[in-house]
Amino acid sequence: MSQSDDILIYAELLSNVKRVSVACDGPLYGANTASASVSPDSLSLTVRNHEIENTLKLPDRVVAAEDAAQFLRVQNKSLRCHEWSLPLASPSGHVTRDPPRRAVPEAQAAATPWSARDLIPRSSIYCRGCQATLVPEGKVETWKDLPSENWAEMMEFWHCHKPHDHGHHDDQALASRGYGANSRLSGQEGVGLVDLTSLLFSQSDCSNVTPSTIPTSSDSLELEKAESEPTNGSTRLANQGTPLSCNNCHCEIGVSHQDQTSVTLFKWTISIRSPASSSNSPTTYPAPEPSLSQCVSAMLMATLSRSACSKTIIIPTTTSGTPPQQTTAGEGQEQQQQQQLLHIWLFNQDITFTSTKQQPEQRPVSAIKVFYRFVNQAEADKLVESMTSDVQDITLPAAAATQLREELERSNGYLPKPVRNFGQWRIGLLEKWKGDQR
């Protein structure tokens, strides 16, 4: 059987309505023998047509096989794609056609990869790619969570608009309190500051890290301007300072801040190991390590929670000081395609899915469902800067933005072809961090 003849099955747990939605794509059309059935343990679904069949592990237990049969009828066998909705198994074993709705689990949606309470003091930080030591064991005595993304703006607003004091307050006065427009976060020796998707350290606590390039004078002015402007948690990690590389494998792992005293490391590029003196901890802590998808999904959910914006433009950063290069017509066309920016629309932040296209094995994955498309710079600027804009921007390193695009394209292939698009948008899946993963 060729790969093109495979039956692709995708299942999605919709916990709000207590059902598993299934879509199937394959050589089923025009065949009276096409059928689907649930396994005796109600955890798997098999679709078959003559000698061709495929089995998918469902994301949750559904109703018993005899009850599921009424929901799995192939009504129109001239269609290539079939969709079914299977109720979840109830404790009593009965089918509930109209299950009650429940509120979206906010605590689950707000899970943060590697919060300060998850990290052990004196732990060491390693490059995930080559295991080179970035922060030696014992350097970090304390882990602290950074304030929420809109903390500085809220404090500045409160200070300027206190009910009992309507006097004028300049930026210098606000800066002396630590939350003015021209104030900035700095690393402290012995302290690891934990952001949503990054860790902030003092430069003196780090080793084996090197700025990727030396910024030009014009770049330096831009960086100083960027650091003097208020930032949010989404862009704080990547729009301030010079790209930072691992001395051993030369991969980009973070940024070196303009003040030359602070270093930010991205969570998806590092590993953390507990100190040897900690006998009640695993060798690598915490486990598993957050992936880029999990970090980006956390950023998208935080942006939605903070600003009620479900649409985002991903802005890739480039290495400072890199001179423009002459390109041929073919290379210029390829670069133009690469300059297309990723426009993401967060559609559902609480799903669990499985697909027969998952490798190496099928497993239920907790994820967010997004719609995505590609826009040019002019359209992106118009979307973000519009007075009625419902779009935020998130900055990522260029390599991470490229990897994110690849992961979205791969997840799009998990779905049957007829349901991979929604109008001009493509559908993608991004795994999210679960608070109970370790």
Residue 220 confidence (pLDDT) = 40
Q: Are 245 and 210 in contact (CB under 8 A)?
A: yes
Measured from the Cβ of residue 373, the count of other Cβ atoms closer than 10 Å reads 16
**Distance, CA of 303 to chain centre:** 12
Rounded to two decimals, the pTM is 0.79
Q: Are 340 and 43 in contact (CB under 8 A)?
A: no
Residue 184 confidence (pLDDT) = 60
Which residue in the block uniquely carries the two structure tokens 């500051």? 193
d(CA 373, CA 368): 16
Which is it for the CA torsion 249, 250, 255, 256, positive or negative? positive
d(CA 229, CA 221): 13
Q: For 209, what's the count of Cα atoms within 13 Å in the CB-facing half-sphere?
A: 31
241: left (phi over 0), alpha (psi -120 to 50) or beta: left
The stretches in the chain having pLDDT less than 50 are 1-4, 92-93, 96-109, 174, 178-181, 214-239, 319-328, 333, 438
Which residue in the block uniquely carries the two structure tokens 């100083």? 224
What is the tens place of the pLDDT at every residue in 278-307?
Answer: 555 555 566 689 999 999 999 999 989 888
* Tokens encoding 94: 């009965």
Which residue in the block uniquely carries the two structure tokens 């009504």? 75
Residue 215 confidence (pLDDT) = 43
Residue 107 confidence (pLDDT) = 41
